[in-house]
Amino acid sequence: MPIHDQGYQRYKGERFQTGAGWQVIAKAGIRNVLVQRKYLGLMLMAWGPFIVRSVQAYAAANVPQASMLALKPETFRSFLETQAAFVFFFTVFVGAGLIAADRRANALQLYLSKPLSRWEYVAGKMAVLFVLLLAVTFLPAILLLFVQVGFAGNFSFVRANLYLIPAITLYSLAQVVLASMTMLALSSLSKSSRFVAVMYAGLIFFTSALFQAVRGITTKSSFAWLSPGDSLDVLGDAIFRLPLRYDLPVWGAALVVIGLIVGSAVVLERRVRAVEIVS
């Protein structure tokens, strides 16, 4: 009986171009989320405010007595503020296990033994959160603008408030990138997704409570930089050309948000490695 050589064999499968590996991780991750009913339920709930605002726009356009309900530029800001709760829950539920689960199952080494760079791995994982979070922030907000145009039957609102399109885009991106990067960084720090979820909740709520305590003691709201969530709110006010809610300069708020994103990138750079050195 002949014994065939089982040594090295050339790969005969399809070769993806370099740098496209993240798409595989992203697609698999998104598919994994969308097949679960609980996430679909959460997504439906997240679109609830959009339906409410659409009804409001319809009533304002078609019922003369309800004209005071007409959508204003502030409505879009407050709409995105409402969506922040869903951003939090999606980030916690979907994001906590993104890297932590791989670390727990020692899958990181397997991933990185493929023709996939560390940044492609991170980009793939981030894309999962990014797409889902944009689906509850940017997508409904921009659709609401179209709905307003549809019900009003003219472009006068959009023409008068043209800045709303870049404002919605920019603020949604700030919300989504901050949440995704922070969660991924935390997820890379632990093997337990529960611990990661609590750390994220702690980061959001504890910093906010700390700011409120300092504000309560000093009666000064300039300490909003202590809380990334409140700093993001200040940034949102500036983007939507509204009066700032706290005495924190816009550059200060931007610095906090950018600092947290850069800090998260540094953590990811240090934690996502193919070889873990155990001392």
Partner 1 sequence: MTTTPPRPAALSTTAAARRVFEVSFGEMLWSRRTIFMALVVGGPVLLAIIFRVVEAFGAPALRVNGARVAGGSVFGVMIWLLYVRFIVPVLGLFYGTSLMADEVEDKTITYLFSRPIPRGAVLLGKYLAYLACTGLVVLPSVMLTYFLTVPFAQVPGTFRSLVLDLAILAAGLAVYGAVFAFVGARLKRPLVGGLIFAFGWEPVVLALPGYLRQFTVARHLQALVPHAMPSDSALSLIQGLFRDVPSVPTALAWLTVLLVAFLWLAMRTVSRREYVLEQ
Residue from 33, 92, 144, 184 touching partner 1 (CB under 8 A): that is: 92
Residue from 209, 247, 262, 270 touching partner 1 (CB under 8 A): that is: 209
Question: Over 220-276, what HEC string results?
Answer: CHHHHHHCHHHHHHHHHHHHCCCCCCCCCCHHHHHHHHHHHHHHHHHHHHHHCCCCC
Alpha helices of the chain — where are they, by DSSP H? 21-34, 37-46, 48-62, 73-90, 97-104, 108-112, 118-134, 138-152, 156-160, 164-189, 193-218, 228-239, 250-271
Residue from 27, 82, 93, 158 touching partner 1 (CB under 8 A): that is: 93
Residue from 23, 78, 117, 212 touching partner 1 (CB under 8 A): that is: 212
Binding mask 100-139 for partner 1 (x = CB under 8 A): ----------------------------------------
Segment lying near partner 1 (by CB under 8 A), choices 6-14, 149-157, 193-201, 248-256: 193-201
What is the spatial distance between Cα 44 and Cα 256, in angstroms, rounded to a whole number?
Answer: 32
Q: How far is the CB of 91 from partner 1 (least distance, A)?
A: 11
Q: Determine, following the binding rule CB under 8 A, whether residue 244 of this chain makes contact with partner 1.
A: no
What is the spatial distance between Cα 6 and Cα 209, in angstroms, rounded to a whole number?
Answer: 62
Segment lying near partner 1 (by CB under 8 A), choices 59-67, 87-95, 148-156, 263-271: 87-95
Interacting residues with partner 1 (CB under 8 A): 85, 89, 92-93, 192, 194-195, 197-199, 201-202, 205-206, 209-210, 212-220
